[in-house]
Amino acid sequence: MSLSSAPAAQAAPAAPARTAQHRRYLMCRPEHFTVSYRINPWMEPAKPTDTAKALAQWQALYDTYLALGHEVELIDPVPGLPDMVYTANGGFIIDGRALGVRFRVDERRGEERPFMDWFAAHGFDVVEPVSVQEGEGDFLLVGDTILAGMGFRSTGDSHAEIARVFDREVVSLRLVDPRFYHLDTAISVLDPVEGPGGVEKANIAYLPSAFDDHSRRILEERYPDAILVDDADGAVFGLNSASDGYNVFISPRATGFEAQLRERGYNPVLVDLSELLLGGGGIKCCTLELRGKR
């Protein structure tokens, strides 16, 4: 066969064009960060922590958000509440309405009032929670749908409560691996915009092994084009990430996930929060999205 008659190599499909969208976040400086108790498998009180290093890594994330045009509000850290840095657990906000949290563990209950007071002081309509739930740690907004986690922290009753508060469809997902005790450690929302007819198009990534069989089937049906992340990237909190629809802020150790994102047209932005991982949190844990009122 001559070269001129040889079949042409099939070109790989082009990655979709992605658009960065403005975000407004709430963060908290880890001035009192330490690990003095154990409430998740990542925490080892006998292992020393470096507060200065945690501050420097946190500052790098803060500066990165600002450099890419996002707004960051700050809540004052409270002495004796070392986990306040994980602001995603402080509430859940849509359209200016803020649902407060009720932590399952005693060690974090002191955070509940400071977060609700901050929301009220900054113009949000605050709803006092009834059921045990841990905010955006277990509630993720995808389009008009709220994905809701349970199994370790938030209760199933909280899913009905959040559906009433926000008048949204809520999809319950059960976590089964204690290392991934919050939903935001096992799912990353890459682009919250739904496709034509409300069909979600490749806008989440998730760790299949973190969920029970029923939840995996739900995810497979609703998000057939989702990025499936392997256990190695999940174990370094690769999915505990934030995204503006184009830039995806991830751990530099999640190398496989980084490559997957590039293939899909996203821009991975690598930020190391390894010191804060000693407390069981990463980029998303330190980032609460503020949607609505100022």
Residue 142 β-bridge partners: 145
> Would you call 175 helix, strand, or coil by DSSP?
strand
C-alpha span between 192 and 201 (Å, rounded): 10
Cβ contact 205:226 at 8 Å: yes
Rg (CA), the chain: 19
Q: Which long-range contacts (CB under 8 A, 24 or more apart) does 199-202 make?
A: 200/142, 200/143, 200/145, 201/225, 202/16, 202/226, 202/227, 202/264
Token pair for 193: 């915009």
Token pair for 28: 């908290």
Task: Catalytic residue, from 28, 70, 285, 286: name it.
Answer: 285
H-type alpha helices, 27-147: 51-67, 112-121
Task: Catalytic residue, from 70, 159, 182, 286: name it.
Answer: 182
C-alpha span between 279 and 257 (Å, rounded): 22
Catalytic site includes residue 285: yes
- How long is the chain? 294
Token pair for 229: 């992340």
For residue 140, count other CB atoms closer than 10 A to its CB.
25
Nearest to 279 by CA among 62, 80, 86: 86
Q: Catalytic site residues?
A: 182, 285
